[in-house]
Amino acid sequence: MPTGFLVAVHKDIGWGGDLQVRPAALRTDLVILTCAISAGIHGALVRDHFQEGTGPGFGFAVATVLLAVLAVVLTRKPTQLALVSTTAVFVGLIASYALVLTTGFPVLHPEPEAVDALALFTKAVEAVGLVLAASLLRRPSLTLTVRQPKGTLT
């Protein structure tokens, strides 16, 4: 069953008309939104990047597909695996852009690129998505469990 803002609008409106949205559901919706925004921007730039070369075009096409798939998966069922994958994709996209600006990205975009306002906006959106997705990850418990041997008093 899908979770998030749209379900909250239909099911969780209280008697006073107040919208009841859990913070985790809101963060999940914002991660989905950041995936969708980034996918849309990357998708819109695929053709331009294919004109630069096959490598950049292919990189943008793959980024578009990954982000769109993550948006759909997170909408349907926001599992820990989906959140880890989203975090990894955002880290990869931000790191890739840092490489493209400084040294170029081997094979895909070998020449360094000038700073671009749309790219900076996209990286800011992805950074927000990264922080939100990471905040939704469950961390393993570090509690120490001490078991009493059988036959001893507790």
Q: Are residues 38 and 93 in contact, defined by beta-carbon separation less than 8 angstroms?
A: yes
Residue type, 119: A
Q: Which secondary-structure segment (H or E) carries 131?
A: helix 117-135
Q: How confident is the prediction along the chain (154 residues), in pLDDT tens digits per residue?
A: 455 544 444 455 555 566 677 889 999 999 999 999 999 999 999 999 999 999 999 999 999 999 999 999 999 999 999 999 999 999 999 999 999 999 988 888 888 989 999 999 999 999 999 999 999 998 776 666 667 777 766 6
Which residues, 6+ apart, have CB-to-CB distance to 152 below 8 Å?
none
- pTM for the model stands at 0.79
The structure tokens listed for 17 are: 């008309």
Which residues, 6+ apart, have CB-to-CB distance to 114 below 8 Å?
none
